[in-house]
Amino acid sequence: MHLLFVGIVLALSSLVSSLDNGLVRTPPMGWMTWERYRCDIDCEDDPENCIGEDLIKRIADKMVDSGWRDLGYVYISIDDCWTLKARDSSGRLQPDPKRFPSGIKALADYVHARGLKLGIYADLGNYTCGGYPGTTLDNIKIDAETFAKWEVDMLKFDGCYSNSSEKAIGYPKMSAALNATGRPILYSCSWPAYEGGLPPKVNYSLLGEICNMWRNYDDIQDSWESVLNIIEWFAENQDNLQPAAGPGRWNDPDMLIVGDFGLSYEQSKSQLAIWAILAAPLIMSNDLMTISEDSKELLQNRLMIYINQDPLGKQGKRIAKVGCLEVWLRELADEQYAVAVLNTGTDGLPKRFTTSLAELSITKCTFGYKLYNVFDKEYLGTFKPETAFQLPVNPSGVVMLFVRPAALAYHPL
Ligand code: GLA
């Protein structure tokens, strides 16, 4: 009787065995095909934009040559539409040989030789969202083993064409299968996005044990409207989402679209500021070959990255909403803070926001704090908690502040 009980406990615990890969103690940073390149498989007529090894290699080279890798953008991920429409004779997923003539292992070697990591995409279900072969429950083991054999470093596991009960089995099962390969593979789960993103349907403590990151909500599109919609959803549901995040386990509001067609300069700052406050993965989906200098400078802003990558790993929150002004706050290590004041308004006149650190509940250091404007790259001076200051915030733009105890040395960034 006793032994039977032990056996059952062991069997159950192996079912929910936690993902023990030690990865992403700070939010992952990198690049992914989907939002910018979608399911473009037309390499004959559109060789610059089609999903294939050439695109990945060109982006990998750029990530090295233009300083992206050295700032932490190291994951380069292939999203949907990389396979043939059928598995091979041994039941394995196979890349389309026209678009990936060297195969995924060779591509991983290419990426690794440049100090980068390769990500790949699969879907728990009968098909991927784009209609390519899916990973049914029976295929999980072979797919995990295939990815490990190819030396892939990240798996985005989507959830089209499966139901809730299959997902409840499949996501933990893939986690265990990845663990069993012995290769640390960042595991990105789209599971919560398919279940409405909220408890009780979504169990965030379980997700934190089996996945490294997860999509909570809708797909991002190339527009400010889409970014705003995501920001609002994350703010409204922050009490459920915020405690779920921490080192090794991150909420994912989806890709950065800075550098694409839909966001103005101000809006680009806003996406970055809120993603940094949310401790979100910074995964770009853009054309690094033609990106403007302005967008590049924003994405490469060292202080924004420093805030996003803070080792405490505590997701920030919206702490106030006054008309179209929103105040966001993230607590960082060493009693530092990041503040973002976002103006969601469309009134052309910049809004003046008057506040003080005390009003933002930043009061511990009575000697005061050094303030930096992150995107203006400007040191604003030392402020006592009760000293009032005013920030002009542009329409659909943001002012992001980095707040540092005055006793700490001048920030080198
Ligand atoms: C879903 C995902 C997207 C992308 C597409 C691919 O919509 O949420 O991020 O992976 O599928 O088809």
In a domain, 166, yes or no: yes
Task: Provide mean pLDDT across the span 200-209.
Answer: 98
Phi first, then psi, for residue 275 (nearest 5°) are: -65, -35
Residue 385: predicted pLDDT: 97
User: Tens digit of pLDDT for each residue in 25-39?
Assistant: 999 999 999 999 999
- Residue 8 has a pLDDT of 47
Same domain, residue pair 250 and 349: no
CA distance 97 to 104: 10
Write the CA distances from 230 to 146, 217, 220, 348, integer angstroms. 34, 7, 8, 23
Instruction: Report if residue 260 sits inside a domain.
Output: yes
State the average pLDDT for the chain: 95
| Residues with catalytic roles | 158, 219
Q: Pocket of ligand 1, candidates 40, 79, 191, 284: which has the most ligand atoms within 8 Å of its Cβ, to mutate?
A: 79
Give residue 369's domain range: 317-405
Report the pLDDT value the prediction gives residue 19, as an integer from 0 to 100: 77
Task: Looking at the structure, tell me whether residues 193 and 290 fall in a common domain.
Answer: yes
CB of 123 closer than 6 A to ligand 1? no
Residue 295 Cα, ligand 1 centroid: separation in angstroms?
Answer: 24
Do 345 and 327 lie in one domain? The reply is yes
Last residue of a domain, one of 252, 277, 308: 308
DSSP per position, 115-131: T-EEEEEEEBSSB-TTS
Q: Which residue has the higher pLDDT, 136 or 4?
A: 136
What residues contact residue 225 under an 8 Å CB cut-off, 6+ apart? none
Residue 171 CB–ligand 1 contact under 6 Å: no
Q: What is the CATH number of the domain that holds 231?
A: 3.20.20.70
Mean pLDDT of the region 217-237: 98
Specify whether 323 is located in the same domain as 282: no
Tell me the mean pLDDT in the region 347-370. Answer: 96
Q: How far is it, in rounded angstroms, from Cα 297 to Cα 276?
A: 15
Residue 412, pLDDT score:
61
Answer whether residue 411 is part of any domain: no
Considering 277, 308, 339, which residue would you say is the last residue of a domain? 308
Q: Which of 39, 194, 217, 219 has most ligand 1 atoms within 8 Å of its beta carbon, as the pocket-test mutant?
A: 219
Check pLDDT > 80 for residue 9. Answer: no
Give pLDDT tens digits for 376-411.
999 999 999 999 999 999 999 999 999 999 998 866
Cβ of 237: how many Cβ atoms within 10 Å? Answer: 17
Q: How much is the average pLDDT of 305-312?
A: 98
pLDDT at 6: 45
Using CB atoms within 10 Å of the CB of residue 246, give its burial: 0 to 12 exposed, 13 to 18 middle, 19+ buried. Answer: middle
Q: Indicate the number of domains in the chain.
A: 2
Q: Say what the pLDDT of residue 11 is.
A: 46
- In this prediction, residues 359-364 reach a mean pLDDT of 97
CATH code, 337: 2.60.40.1180
* Residue 33 and residue 125 share a domain: yes
Does 112 score more than 80 pLDDT?
yes
CB of 129 sitting under 6 A from ligand 1: yes
- pTM metric for this prediction: 0.96
- Would you state the pLDDT for residue 20? 75
Q: Which of 255, 273, 308 is the last residue of a domain?
A: 308
Do 236 and 366 reside in the same domain of the chain? no
Element (DSSP H or E) covering residue 18: none
CB of 158 closer than 6 A to ligand 1? yes
